[in-house]
Amino acid sequence: MDPATAYSHTLDVLKGLQDVGYSYVTGGDPEHDHVLFDEPHAGDDLRHFNITQPKPFKFLFQGRHDAPKYKGPNGDILNFAIYESGSGSVLRMFSISRIHGALGDHGQNYKTLHFLSDKLTSKEPTPVYGCGLPIASAAPPSTQRASESLRSLPFHSSGLRQAGMAELDFSHYPQTVYHHALDVLKSLKDHGYSYITGGDPNPGDDLRHYNIEKPKNFQFIFQGRHDSPKYSGPNADILDFTIYKKGSGSVLRMFSISRIHGALGDAGQNYKTLAFMADMMGASKKPVPKYGCGLTL
């Protein structure tokens, strides 16, 4: 089916699955945005942008999946993009746990998307990122160093919404890096940064008692937020962090993701958010992009 038909069909299915926790949401808070700003929430129709790269995306929208324990503002975020493919279209689906402590979800994010795909079509969804796959990038991550051109790219990333993941090496122990990162987050309130807990009940930040060895020796997991003048609070960018042990030091894995679905082409803002925090942590090197941040899926 054509993109417009696929979009309408997906919305109908989302709205019809409210009894099992699915819902369609807009790309921000329309009433809040209308009061404070000239522009309303981001729309779903991208056709007037005439996007051709990395895919001819036509629609971009968002949903939510609630669970008994974590729902509403703590429910899983569902992002969708539809691009034209030949005489038909492709629905790109992304599910992300809103809380930071959803470590080892027994494939729940994939199951959420698989259940939805069953209601949409008889075809199996093809995992592209996550869902049991390792981190993917356009080239070997070790060669992807931050450059001025990369940091100023008006890139479209995965076509779902703007996001970026980068890693920063430290010579300190994970616990030292964790406390330092929290101190920096809390000290940057004037710049829109903040530390937030992982939902209610809060799953906690310390992973050491789990003795995780694979895929990395993860020690801590935590979350922050980055507010901007237009989108703040529940619509602010989400910052996710994990720290794993590496030799005698540690690595801080940082992830910034735009909370609203319409942040298409952010001129590298998610990477800039992470790079600024890295500078404030006194890092001697720039964070190394692993996903997004100018890389393609």
| pLDDT tens, residue by residue, 141-159 | 333 333 333 333 333 334 3
CATH architecture of the domain 141-292 equals 2-Layer Sandwich (3.30)
Q: State the pLDDT at residue 268.
A: 67
DSSP state of 113: H
Q: For 53-57, 182-186, 257-261, which range has the lowest pLDDT when averaged over its residues?
A: 257-261
3-state SS class at 5: helix
3-state SS class at 45: strand
Summarised one tens digit per residue, pLDDT across range 5-18 is: 999 999 999 999 99
Separation between Cα atoms, residue 156 and residue 265, nearest integer Å: 5
Hey, what are 210's tokens? 């789990």
DSSP state of 32: H
Summarised one tens digit per residue, pLDDT across range 35-73 is: 333 444 568 898 998 988 888 999 988 888 988 877 887
126 Rama sector, left if φ>0, alpha if ψ -120 to 50, beta otherwise: beta
Q: CA-CA distances (angstroms) from residue 95 to 20, 131, 142, 186, 268?
A: 16, 9, 27, 28, 22
DSSP state of 3: H
Single out the residue of 75, 85, 52 nearest to residue 159, CA to CA: 52
Q: For 96-110, 128-142, 187-201, which range has the lowest pLDDT when averaged over its residues?
A: 128-142
Separation between Cα atoms, residue 22 and residue 28, nearest integer Å: 17
Domain ranges of the chain: 3-120, 141-292
